[in-house]
Structures are given as structure tokens and as C-alpha cells.
Amino acid sequence: MADKKEIVMSGIRPTGFLHLGNYFGAIRNYVKMQEDFECYFMVADWHSLTTHPDTKELQGNVQRVLAENIACGLDPDKVALYCQSHVHTTAELYLYLNMLAYKGELEKTVTFKDKVRQHPENVNAGLLTYPVLQTADIILHRAKYVPVGKDQEQHLEMARNFANRFNHRYGEVFPEPVAYNYNAELVKVPSLDGGGKMSKSENQMATLYLSDDDDMIRKKVMKAKTDNGPTEPNAAKPEYIENIFGLMKLVCAQDVIAKYENDYNSCNIRYGDLKKQLGEDMAKFIGPIRDKINTILPDKKYLQQVMEQGAEKANKSANETMKLVREAMGLKYY
Ligand code: TYM
């Protein structure tokens, strides 16, 4: 019999159009990992309610995230591609884990503090326990690897703590989940305005979406922050210039990057030309993904079938884990 494959789990919130950061931080890894691992990838609709209580656009956003994942190369026949709210045992495990998570550590989470700053009028308990729900998503499948971007590092550290705490109190049920990126550090794709990261709902003109048209891509890249260029040979690059070279490394050919590195080091760089080239290469990269999104998204019947098939696979794995969880906890009375 073949060895059982190692288990992978990850998720994306349906809070807007997916962008280059989601692709290079997460989905690129999903697509590679689907060949060698048992994979569970989901749309985190419950998580989106912590910050987006208005559900008018939720259905469309869930369908879009699914279509975008498939357009990037995810095969719903190879992986479980599902919706978080279709796996009800997630909520049960979340409840048990909440008894093992302390208010103090939750309040110290960087993403929680950011959200409190952004929306002081909506500091709800779901927001505070966001990392607990994320842990439930992951360990519900006893996953070991979690492909995510750099912004999720702290959540993964918390997931390890909660899983270990459960194991110590009730017995070994869960492996320690780790954040994962193929043979490299976790990725942070910077925004084009020189500060922060690309994001689904903030700074939209500085974020390249997988559904942007070619002209919009060129326009956004041309607006990226630059300056008059270095005045000394081999000068250190300011962060916003480093970021542009970082974006080039994602989509441009080696010799193109080498040329502009040389131009920079010899103080001959023309940022207008560089951005033109980067805009073309970005458009070439994003174009085929956008076209696929546009063919998949209108097929609602197909998307429903994907969700049903994904939920079935995910529930099977979740039910097996929950049997072990309830037994380990002594929640079995006859
Ligand atoms: P979300 O929806 O914010 O982002 C989805 C994935 O994209 C990555 N990402 C980035 N990577 C690099 N550069 C960027 N600029 C960038 N922006 C986003 C994120 O790291 C993430 O991998 N809490 C999660 C959703 C979630 C989840 C889970 C993840 C719910 N349950 C279980 C893993 C496992 C989130 O908000 O992702």
C-alpha cells in the first residue's frame, strides 16, 4: 500500500478580489502542493464575518474566490476545495479550543491590535478569537503544512500553541502545524505605493488584482513610487525601490532584472523604462489568469458542484478527527 500523504490546509477570506500577494504568498504553493500532499483549501467565510458583517456581497465573493483559485491552477478533483461554513464541526472544535485560549495572549495578537485600530466601533469576540477559529480550520484535518504569506506567521505560532495545549491536556491528537513556502522564506508582496503590503480591501490603486485588465495593470505599475535614481555607484536601495525590484523578480526574466540592477549600480537607471517593462511583464503574467477567471465565474452550476464535492471530502476528514477529539476529551458517555 502507498504511504499516506502528508496533510496540507490553508484558507482565504472572501473579502474582495484576490491579488498578486495572495497568489505568490499562498496560491502558488497550493498549486504545487496538490501534486504531492493531501490538500484541504477553503474559503474562510466565517472569518470574513469578523470584519465584514454585511453579507450582501458574500455569495458573489465566495464564488469569486473559488473561481480565482481554480483559474490559478487548483484542481478540485485533486484537492478538497470547500467553504468553511459547510464544515460544521469547525465550530465545535473552535468551541473546545476557546477553553484553552487565554484573553491575554489573544489581545496581544498583532492582527487583532491592527483591526481594533482600524475599526474601534466593532471590536467583537469573534475578532478576538480569530486565531482560535483559524487553528480549528487547520487541526480539524490534522494538517502539518500550512502554505501562507508572511502576515500569517503569528497565527501559525498560536495554532502550534493551541494544538500543543490540547495534546498536553487530553492526549496526542494533533501534529504541530507549520507555515510553509516551498524551499524559501514566507513571502510578503509589497504594495506599489512604497509602504505596507498588497491587500484585498486597502490601497486598491497600489494593489495588482488577478482580475485587473492590462491597461489598469500598466497604469498602476507606472504610478509606483520611485525617485531620481541613485547618485553614487552601488548605493543601497531605499525600501520602495527594493520593493519594485522584488516585484520584478516575481515576473521578469533574469537578464532583464540583471540589466536594471547594473543600471542602478552604475547610476544610469531610467525608472520610466523599468516600470514600462514591469507593467508589460505583469500584464503578460496576470492576463491568462484573468481570462480563466472570466470563463469560470459565470458557471454557477460548476461552482456549486465544486463546493459540494469539496465539502464532502472535508467533512469526511473532519468527522474522523472529531471522533478522536471527543474521545480524548472524555465527551463520550455510553
Ligand atoms: P487572507 O484572506 O488575508 O489572505 C489569504 C492568503 O494570502 C496571503 N497574503 C499575502 N502573501 C504575501 N503578500 C501579501 N501582500 C499577501 N496578502 C495576503 C496570506 O498570508 C494568506 O496566506 N487568516 C487567513 C485566512 C485563514 C486561514 C485559515 C489561513 C482562515 N483560516 C487556515 C490558513 C489556514 C487570512 O486572513 O488570509
- Distance, CA of 228 to CA of 248 (rounded, Å): 19
Three-class secondary structure of residue 146 per DSSP = strand
**CATH number assigned to the domain comprising residue 140:** 3.40.50.620
**CATH number assigned to the domain comprising residue 211:** 1.10.240.10
Indicate whether 78 belongs to any domain: yes
Indicate whether 196 belongs to any domain: no
- CA 326 to chain CA centroid, nearest Å: 30
Same domain, residue pair 91 and 162: yes
Distance 147 CA to ligand 1 centre (A): 9
With vertex at residue 281, the alpha carbon angle to CA 277 and CA 286, rounded to the nearest 5 degrees, is: 145
pLDDT level of residue 2 (50, 70, 90 thresholds): low
Length of the chain equals: 334
Same domain, residue pair 37 and 90: yes
Same domain, residue pair 67 and 133: yes
Indicate whether 245 belongs to any domain: yes
Same domain, residue pair 167 and 216: no
> What ligand 1 atom has the least distance to the C-alpha of 150?
20
Confidence at residue 266, expressed as pLDDT on a 0 to 100 scale: 97
Q: Please write down the HEC assignment for all residues of 267-285.
A: CCCCHHHHHHHHHHHHHHH
pLDDT level of residue 305 (50, 70, 90 thresholds): very high
Same domain, residue pair 182 and 268: no
- Distance, CA of 264 to CA of 232 (rounded, Å): 10
Q: What is the pLDDT of residues 134-180, one digit of tens each?
A: 999 999 999 999 999 999 999 999 999 999 999 999 999 999 999 99
Same domain, residue pair 146 and 277: no
User: Mean pLDDT over residues 301-330, rounded?
Assistant: 98
Q: Which residue has the cell 516600470?
A: 275
Sheet of 178-180, strand order: 80-83, 38-43, 7-12, 145-147, 178-180
Question: Residue 224 is part of which domain span?
Answer: 204-293
Nearest to 261 by CA among 245, 247, 273: 245
Indicate whether 195 belongs to any domain: no
- Distance, CA of 251 to CA of 24 (rounded, Å): 11
Q: What percent of the chain has pLDDT over 90?
A: 95
Indicate whether 240 belongs to any domain: yes
Residue 322 has which C-alpha cell? 472529531
Domains held by the chain: number: 2
Three-class secondary structure of residue 209 per DSSP = strand
Confidence at residue 288, expressed as pLDDT on a 0 to 100 scale: 98
Indicate whether 1 belongs to any domain: no
φ/ψ of residue 258, rounded to 5? -60, -40
Nearest C-alpha to atom 7 of ligand 1 is from which residue?
A: 22
Residue 187 has which C-alpha cell? 513571502
pLDDT level of residue 329 (50, 70, 90 thresholds): very high
Residue 203 has which C-alpha cell? 490601497
User: Mean pLDDT over residues 32-60, rounded?
Assistant: 97
Three-class secondary structure of residue 19 per DSSP = strand
Q: What is the pLDDT of residues 81-131, one digit of tens each?
A: 999 999 999 999 999 999 999 999 999 999 999 999 999 999 999 999 999
Helices H, strands E: what count in the chain?
15, 5
Catalytic residue numbers read 115, 197, 200
Residue 159 has which C-alpha cell? 495554532
Same domain, residue pair 143 and 263: no
With vertex at residue 250, the alpha carbon angle to CA 244 and CA 256, rounded to the nearest 5 degrees, is: 75
Confidence at residue 116, expressed as pLDDT on a 0 to 100 scale: 97
DSSP 8-state code for residue 197 = B
Q: What is the pLDDT of residues 218-232, one digit of tens each?
A: 999 999 999 999 999
One-letter amino acid identity for 186? L
Indicate whether 166 belongs to any domain: yes
Indicate whether 199 belongs to any domain: no
pLDDT level of residue 201 (50, 70, 90 thresholds): confident
- Burial (CB count <10 Å: 0-12, 13-18, 19+), residue 35: exposed
Which residue out of 15, 45, 94, 152 has the highest number of ligand 1 atoms within 8 Å of its CB and is therefore the one to mutate?
Answer: 152
Same domain, residue pair 318 and 284: no
- CA 297 to chain CA centroid, nearest Å: 20
> What ligand 1 atom has the least distance to the C-alpha of 134?
31
Same domain, residue pair 179 and 78: yes
Confidence at residue 196, expressed as pLDDT on a 0 to 100 scale: 87
Element (DSSP H or E) covering residue 147: strand 145-147
Is the per-residue pLDDT at 261 higher than 80? yes
Nearest to 244 by CA among 278, 283, 216, 273: 278
Is the per-residue pLDDT at 308 higher than 60? yes
> What ligand 1 atom has the least distance to the C-alpha of 13?
2
Max intra-chain CA distance, the chain: 78
What does pLDDT average to over the chain? 96
Same domain, residue pair 64 and 93: yes
- Distance, CA of 129 to CA of 109 (rounded, Å): 10
pLDDT level of residue 206 (50, 70, 90 thresholds): very high
Is the per-residue pLDDT at 1 higher than 60? no
Q: What is the pLDDT of residues 73-94, one digit of tens each?
A: 999 999 999 999 999 999 999 9
Question: Which protein residues are within 6 Å of ligand 1, measured from CB?
Answer: 9-13, 21-22, 25-26, 44, 47, 134, 137-138, 146, 148-149, 151-152, 155, 187-189, 197-198
Same domain, residue pair 271 and 285: yes
Same domain, residue pair 148 and 230: no
Nearest C-alpha to atom 31 of ligand 1 is from which residue?
A: 134
